[in-house]
Structure 1
Amino acid sequence: MTGMAARGAVARRDGAALAGAAVAVAAVLAGGAHALALAWPWDVSIGGWLAPGQPAAWLHALSLMALVALLAHAPTASAAAWRAGGYATAWLAGTFWWLFVSMHTYGGLVAPLAVLAVLALAAFLALDYALAAALWSRWRTAGPGAQVLAFAALWTLAEWARGVLWTGFPWGAGGYAQVEALGALAPWVGVYGIGAVAAALAAAPVLLRGVARVVTVVLAALVWGVPGAGAWLAERLPDTTRPAGALPVRLLQGAIPQEQKFDVDAGVPLALRWYGEQIVRATGDPALAGGLVVAPETAIPLLPQDVDPAYWRALHAVVRTGDAAVLLGVPLGSFSEGYTNSAVAWFPGGEAADPAADPFAALTRYRYDKHHLVPFGEFIPPGFRWFTELMNIPLGDFARGVLPQPSLAWAGQRIAPNICYEDLFGEELAAGFGEAGRAPTVLVNLSNIAWFGDTVAIDQHRHISRVRALELGRPMVRATNTGATAVIDHRGRVQAELPRGERGVLDATVAARQGLTPYAWWASRAGLWPLVGVCAAVLLATRPRRDRR
């Protein structure tokens, strides 16, 4: 009997280990599906379900449903935390795996360390979701409806925490996968609000019972299974902004290979020559009169004082007598004053300074300094200099611009630049919308995603800009080095886009907008705190009652 009992114990232990492994694999696969849902990375289309570079809202929903099922059957809070942590680590690593490219391909970091760095970042950020899942276990004794609402609230708070703690890194938030299906809600509740609705709608069929489950299954099928459902919803919600004229734009995409960008014998002279030629052509083009020429982030990869003054004098002569303004990405500053990642604007007409003494200053009539800097790229977090020294990347500690900064006033429009991943932070862009009469009418993003190669990062960033356009009710113009250089209207629709990785120019007419969306109104005044308050109120209202017997 003793031997049989021992064998039984071993069998139970092996069965438990096998079940645990199956749960871990399921969590990782579900998290991987979440990453794929943000932008399908492969050149494979499946009807209206999957398309290269496009989000798949239904896949994101199935991913969340699988997670909720795993959490609902977790025996303890600790088990729930491990399951959610594994899910989130797989999701986040699968979302920004392309950081490996910047660290290994362009930074020279050995491949194992680059892989470990990506996984470590993903695991660290996954702690927010593990904590949310552990807390949700407290609602195990609550009713099904309370469990649904509590899951959505806690998951949203985890998304918020990832977006604000440690300077914030919200890339890949779930709401971006829903830009087609639930994007019509963005002008009202923002990307985190979209994520909350998606979380609740995904959790309901798993947790509810009886008629309520049937109703939510049908609703989920309509939202995520019927092509055009998102467009149908968008047409029935009121548009809270109105037209504010038109702005001709020419967007420049230099496609300077990243490995050559800072090479003084290759990328630097190519950038000076090509962008200079395009600016000369654009400012003299009658079709662009009263328009805006936009060159991407660090289009000129040198400090102005390190460029031959004759170059600036030549551009000064053509811009001053031309008919179009120029918005150009360039680093500014000095060793003594500090450096900024900036965009400057040049106007036709009068001079701001003597071109003989300082031709670049004579050109510059407007300046925007990047506010939200990239950790490890534009500033080195305390204690991590050893890590950045392992890579051969031109890093620096840049100074932050203020928030908000004035818009660029040109041709009757108020144009608000943002640089690189600043467009991840909708609440920071909204800070410039405090007064409707002074709010931007056009948003412009200047980026260089070439650091991450020809990867899905380009597609993911496009969808991020689409959600910002929806949230704020403004067109978003994107000028990038390798893609996605595009014009996005105030409803988040891509109107025109250059082929990625190819040198070229994109001409378009941008339909400017004025007025405030509900999101722009509340986020400009209180940031994301109203969202946090709603989630906290939901948790208080649904908290399980303790048995006092």
Structure 2
Amino acid sequence: MLSFRAQISWWDYFLAFLAGLVSVFAFAPFAWWPLAFLTPAVFFWLNLKPLLRGQRLRLAWVFGLGLFAGGAHWIYFSIHYFGGANVFLATTMVAAFVVLIALMLMLFGLIVSFFPYQASWVKLLPVFPAAWSITEWFRGWFLTGFPWLQLGHTQTDTFLASYAPIFGSLGVSWLVALGAGALVLILIGERLQKIYAVALIALLFAGGYGLSFINWTQPVGEKLFVSLIQANIPQEEKWLPEFRNQHIQKHIDMMEPRITSSHLIIWPETAIFDTFQQSMDDVVKPLQESFNAAETDLLMGGFQYEQSTDNMYNAIMSVRDLDVYGKRHLVPFSEYTPFLEYLRWLESFIILPYENVAPWKGKVNLQVAGQPMRMSVCYEDAYGEEMITGLPEATMLVNVSNDGWFTGSIEPAQHAQIARFRAIETGRYLLRATNNGISAIINEKGKIVVTGPQYQEVVVEEFAQPMQGSTPYIRWGNWFLIPILTIALVVVGWLGRGKFR
């Protein structure tokens, strides 16, 4: 009787883990983007073996362990240095997070287990890339989602990024996975298959080169001179009441010379650490008078409290008209903790939030500097399909963030790379103001127009062009790519019933 168990060894699992771990170097800040093709290629090659379903699930999980251990370990910085957890507890929590997130990659193993007999070229080209993209899509929304470390994000500076206005970052992930499958075919395929695989990779990049010349959106109105205030407030001081006035004054001092020369000034997330209502008399109203006189707009991060619902929101306020946007997609166990009232006993080990922040249900666009702009707070800009809400009406994207929770880690560079994809997908400039970096003005092609160094006080400023029109991705989001890939898998499975043995 044929046994599949002899087809996989501990070495295979180790190789899958190592491939996942090395994948991290394809992402910012390292940005060795060819690894985004090479490491999945190793993983795909391992999956060509005749394996039992359980073995495929474990293989995918082990790859995920390497990927997220290397690429998402930065949550340790938040839990230990700013959450107050000791080294053992913080390490345990990070390990649990990595184990659980990696479980989502088991969907890849489950999908490909339904294609045990297809020829290698069928697995490498139609099946594995589609399964990979569907798995990334699932990971982006299941249990509120974690769309970090998508393969497509590695391609911000290659021609493959030019596909993002059509298919989004998930579509670019599919193309990268397709290229990875082609690499394996170059190594193991027959002569004609090798030629086709080389031609496929060349075609992917040639197509991206051609698409790079297409302008999906068009300028509207005059350019705006924008100033982003990066005050570099130390995270350990940010929430201390005794520093409140000092920190606010620092933002004011940095922006004051620019009130008459800028069309728009943006403060980062929670630049005011209390509510706008509490700061109305001593901060908001005086600033409103100054900006009304100068006919300049100011966006600043803080907290919005609604007495009618007793809800607190992580928010952005347009100071001139006191209009507010609140964060819609919250971070579990950071901005809200399920059953918080029953977990207070944990405060002897780790700092818990005083109260939960509520998800915003209101509008997503604010009218500033004469333009409707799509607001987002912190890691909301990681969710491409959510960011197209409010478009094409919005002519610019604005993100305020505070990656100070992960000071010294690779997270801020990863976050900035993800943000660039939102600009590419929507054909809009993205204005990104952060507390200590990476603040940047990003154009509609995802290129950084101007940025500032991390962990320094700096005002990042330059002209930004409002844009109008719709990219294909604005119109259909992920609801074009994912159904097509699903249908393709069904068709391949139906046509390949025993035919590719």
- TM-score of the superposition, structure 2-length normalised? 0.90
- Deviation for aligned residue 1:386: 6.3
Q: Which moved more, 1:454-463 or 1:249-258?
A: 454-463
| Equivalent residue in structure 1 for 2:169, among 168, 179, 191 | 191
Find the aligned partners of 2:487 and 2:202 in 1 and give their Cα distance.
29
1:205–1:211: structure 2 CA closer, same or farther, 3 Å change rule?
Answer: farther
Equivalent residues of 2:336, 2:353 under 8 A apart: no
- Deviation for aligned residue 1:16: 7.3
- Deviation for aligned residue 1:305: 4.0
SS of residue in 2 equivalent to 1:432: coil
| Equivalent residue in structure 2 for 1:259, among 236, 243, 247 | 236
1:309 aligns with 281
| Equivalent residue in structure 1 for 2:487, among 514, 523, 537 | 537
Equivalent residues of 1:241, 1:515 under 8 A apart: yes
1:486–1:387: structure 2 CA closer, same or farther, 3 Å change rule?
Answer: farther
Equivalent residues of 1:33, 1:60 under 8 A apart: no
1:421 aligns with 379
SS of residue in 2 equivalent to 1:505: strand
- Count of equivalent residues: 485
Tell me the amino acid that sits aligned with residue 415 of structure 2. Answer: H
Find the aligned partners of 2:394 and 2:378 in 1 and give their Cα distance.
18
1:230–1:111: structure 2 CA closer, same or farther, 3 Å change rule?
Answer: farther
1:309-332 CA deviation, whole Å, 9 max, x = no partner? 234443233122112100000111
- TM-score of the superposition, structure 1-length normalised? 0.83
**Is 1:407 the counterpart of 2:365 in the alignment?**
yes
Equivalent residues of 2:33, 2:155 under 8 A apart: yes
1:160 aligns with 137
Equivalent residues of 1:280, 1:318 under 8 A apart: no
1:82–1:514: structure 2 CA closer, same or farther, 3 Å change rule?
Answer: same
Tell me the amino acid that sits aligned with residue 197 of structure 1. Answer: L
Find the aligned partners of 1:187 and 1:180 in 2 and give their Cα distance.
15
1:110-135 CA deviation, whole Å, 9 max, x = no partner? 22222222222222222222232233
Q: Which stretches in structure 1 are left out of the alignment for 5+ residues?
A: 1-14, 40-52, 348-363
**Is 1:20 the counterpart of 2:22 in the alignment?**
no
1:231–1:387: structure 2 CA closer, same or farther, 3 Å change rule?
Answer: farther
SS of residue in 2 equivalent to 1:88: helix
Tell me the amino acid that sits aligned with residue 381 of structure 2. Answer: D
**Is 1:138 the counterpart of 2:114 in the alignment?**
yes
Equivalent residues of 1:279, 1:326 under 8 A apart: no
**Is 1:90 the counterpart of 2:66 in the alignment?**
yes
Q: CA RMSD in A?
A: 2.5
Find the aligned partners of 1:458 and 1:149 in 2 and give their Cα distance.
34
The percent of aligned pairs where both chains have the same amino acid is: 29
**Is 1:216 the counterpart of 2:197 in the alignment?**
yes
Find the aligned partners of 1:387 and 1:471 in 2 and give their Cα distance.
44
Tell me the amino acid that sits aligned with residue 397 of structure 1. Answer: N
Q: Which moved more, 1:486-495 or 1:272-281?
A: 272-281
| Equivalent residue in structure 1 for 2:298, among 318, 326, 333 | 326
Tell me the amino acid that sits aligned with residue 332 of structure 2. Answer: P
SS of residue in 2 equivalent to 1:160: helix
Equivalent residues of 1:325, 1:346 under 8 A apart: yes
1:174 aligns with 151
- Deviation for aligned residue 1:86: 0.6
| Equivalent residue in structure 1 for 2:75, among 77, 92, 99 | 99
Equivalent residues of 2:152, 2:176 under 8 A apart: yes
Find the aligned partners of 1:375 and 1:223 in 2 and give their Cα distance.
38
2:128 aligns with 151
- Deviation for aligned residue 1:334: 6.0
| Equivalent residue in structure 1 for 2:41, among 51, 56, 65 | 65
How is 1:226-305 mapped onto 2 (pairs within 5 angstroms)?
Answer: 232-236=209-213, 238-245=214-221, 246-266=223-243, 268-283=244-259, 285=260, 287-288=261-262, 291-305=263-277
**Is 1:517 the counterpart of 2:493 in the alignment?**
no
- Deviation for aligned residue 1:366: 1.4
Equivalent residues of 2:266, 2:300 under 8 A apart: yes
- Deviation for aligned residue 1:239: 1.6
Equivalent residues of 1:377, 1:396 under 8 A apart: no
- Deviation for aligned residue 1:81: 1.5
Q: Which moved more, 1:146-155 or 1:501-510?
A: 146-155
1:496 aligns with 450
SS of residue in 1 equivalent to 2:323: strand
Find the aligned partners of 2:345 and 2:144 in 1 and give their Cα distance.
18
- Deviation for aligned residue 1:70: 1.2
2:51 aligns with 75
Tell me the amino acid that sits aligned with residue 198 of structure 1. Answer: V
* Bigger Cα Rg: 1
SS of residue in 2 equivalent to 1:139: coil
- Deviation for aligned residue 1:299: 0.5
Equivalent residues of 1:423, 1:445 under 8 A apart: yes
**Is 1:124 the counterpart of 2:97 in the alignment?**
no
Find the aligned partners of 1:430 and 1:387 in 2 and give their Cα distance.
41
**Is 1:337 the counterpart of 2:310 in the alignment?**
yes
How is 1:433-472 mapped onto 2 (pairs within 5 angstroms)?
Answer: 433=391, 436=392, 439-472=393-426
Equivalent residues of 2:182, 2:200 under 8 A apart: no
